[in-house]
Amino acid sequence: MSTQPIRVMLVDDHALVRSAVRQAVSAPDIEVVGEASTADEALLLAPQLNPDVLLLDLNLPGASGFGLLRELAPRLPSTRIVMLTISNDRRDLLDAVRNGAAGYLTKDLSPDALQRAVRGIRSGDLAMSRAMAAEVIQHLATATNRPAGSESRSDLPGVSAREEEVLALLADGLTDREIAERLGISPRTVETHVGSLLNKLGVRNRAQAARRYREVSGRSD
């Protein structure tokens, strides 16, 4: 095992949060080598520093952490990018893993737990809780067993798994551009999926499609 300190970079738009995380994670064997407050700063600095671990917030000014994750992951093949966020939403977790994150941690972690997670990354451990790891494994198992192009739910006839993802985000109030950013597809592709959904669900507009999804999913929000 390497005796060199684990080099960590922080990407978060709140200076107080970065300060707290830096203090929490710093240890004799863990060194914070850089910080960025925006996606643009991170895109410039991260390739120069090439950190061992990059702790990335989900929400950044003018961009999403997912977009930055997709940009940085192929540029930094030796860097383990881990989301560090307040969100414990299952969809955010799965989107992070789908887009190349090596872990998903929430900001309510204790300093000791954060340090253990960072140290574990060097040993090849997955930087997330057991419950979140179980969610990911369950999702992967379901996706593997589902035939390509199969319907995602019996109560949404003809709707594919990808279309249901779009529909769920539509029900959350996201715009086409936001849905495209979240799923890593183009806005035009989102428009195509929405048009298909309106036809398959037999509804006139997006609001009715969102209402239908909430009805069949049991959601009241």
pLDDT band of residue 143 (cuts 50, 70, 90) is: low
Q: Quick count: other Cβ atoms within 10 Å of Cβ 23? A: 10
**What pLDDT does residue 23 have?**
96
Of 68-72, 77-81, 160-164, the least confident:
160-164
- Alpha-carbon distance of 201 to 5, in angstroms, equals 55
- Alpha-carbon distance of 40 to 32, in angstroms, equals 19
Q: What is the DSSP string of 41-73?
A: HHHHHHHHH--SEEEE-SEETTEEHHHHHHHHH
* 6-26 pLDDT tens trace: 999 999 999 999 999 999 999
> Taking residues 128-134, what's their average pLDDT?
83
**What pLDDT does residue 59 have?**
83
- Alpha-carbon distance of 103 to 68, in angstroms, equals 15
Kindly indicate whether the domain formed by 6-139 is annotated with CATH number 2.40.50.140.
no
**What pLDDT does residue 151 have?**
44
For residue 215, what is the DSSP state?
H
List the domain boundaries for the chain: 6-139, 161-217
Provide the percentage of residues in the chain whose pLDDT is more than 70: 89
Backbone angles phi, psi at 9, to 5 degrees: -120, 140
Kindly indicate whether the domain formed by 161-217 is annotated with CATH number 1.10.10.10.
yes
Let me know: does 18 contact 25? Beta carbons within 8 Å.
no
- Topology agreement, domain 6-139 and domain 161-217: no
10: tokens are 């922080």
In degrees, rounded to 5, the angle at the alpha carbon of residue 118 between the alpha carbons of residues 113 and 119 is: 95
- Between 15 and 182, the more confident residue is 15
81-90 — which CB contacts under 8 Å span 24+ positions?
Answer: 81/53, 81/54, 81/56, 82/53, 82/54, 82/55, 82/56, 82/117, 82/121, 82/127, 83/56, 83/57, 83/58, 84/12, 84/21, 84/55, 84/56, 84/57, 85/57, 85/58, 85/59, 86/58, 87/58, 90/135
**What pLDDT does residue 218 have?**
64
Burial of 197 (0-12, 13-18, 19+ CB in 10 A): buried
